[in-house]
Every structure is written in C-alpha cells, then in structure tokens.
C-alpha cells in the first residue's frame, strides 16, 4: 500500500489534491479558459446565443492554437463531455443545437 501512495503523490506533482478539487477542474476550464475568453454563463443561453458567443470569443482570441471554428467547436464539445455531463436532457439538446448553429455560422455542412 505505501508504494501506491508514493506513486499517486508523484503523479500529482507531490501535492495531495482533494477529491473536490479533482472533480472541479473542468469547471475552472470553462470559466477561465486560456484559449478563449468566454462570456459569463454562456452555456445557459439559447443555442443561437451560445454559438454566436463562442464564435465571437474564438475570433477575438489571439491565444488559440487552431482555426476559430475548431476552437469554438472544441470548447462546446468539452463542455458537453466534461463540465456538462450532469445536464438535463433539454440542456443537452440545446448544446447539440448550438453545434449545428455554429456550423451554420461558419458555413460548414451539418453532420
């Protein structure tokens, strides 16, 4: 048992992270993304407003590593998969519709 603890401590950089902090890393990413400056509570809006806001943030960012479309879609997918995994069915549908709206804004073919 002591060997496992040592390995776990090294994986965390020698620091013991609490369970609450480990669960909330995705929340911090959506609030303080280094690639995009997101508006407050952007993912609680309508699908069109979410798409417009993400497009605006991606196009204004000078820190993104990819195209504006890919950065915006990546943030939306990240929210859906991680930060929004406990969303209600209606909010999940709104996120999927926001993806379609984002594709329309960038004139990409919806899947």
Q: How confident is the model at residue 59 (pLDDT cuts 50, 70, 90)?
A: very high
Over residues 61-79, mean pLDDT: 89
**What number is the average pLDDT over the span 59-86?**
87
| Geometric angle at alpha carbon 7, from 6 and 13, rounded to 5° | 90
92 secondary structure, DSSP code: H
**How far is the C-alpha of 73 from the C-alpha of 108, rounded, in Å?**
12
pLDDT tops 70 at residue 65: yes
Mean pLDDT, residues 69-87 taken together: 86
Report the predicted TM-score, pTM, of the whole model to 2 decimal places: 0.69
**7 token code pair:** 């390995």
pLDDT classification of 20: cutoffs 50, 70, 90: low
d(CA 21, CA 38): 22
Q: Which residues contact 4 (CB under 8 A, 6 or more apart)?
A: none
11-22: burial string, b at 16+ Cβ within 10 Å, e else: eeeeeeeeeeee
């Amino acid at each position: 048992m002591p060997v496992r603890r040592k390995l776990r401590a090294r994986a965390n950089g020698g620091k013991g992270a609490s369970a609450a902090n480990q669960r909330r890393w995705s929340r911090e990413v959506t609030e303080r993304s280094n690639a995009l400056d997101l508006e407050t509570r952007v993912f609680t809006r309508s699908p069109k407003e979410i798409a417009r806001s993400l497009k605006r943030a991606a196009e204004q960012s000078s820190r993104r590593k990819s195209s504006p479309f890919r950065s915006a879609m990546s943030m939306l997918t990240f929210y859906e998969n991680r930060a929004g995994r406990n969303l209600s069915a209606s909010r999940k549908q709104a996120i999927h519709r926001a993806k379609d709206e984002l594709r329309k804004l960038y004139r990409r073919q919806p899947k």
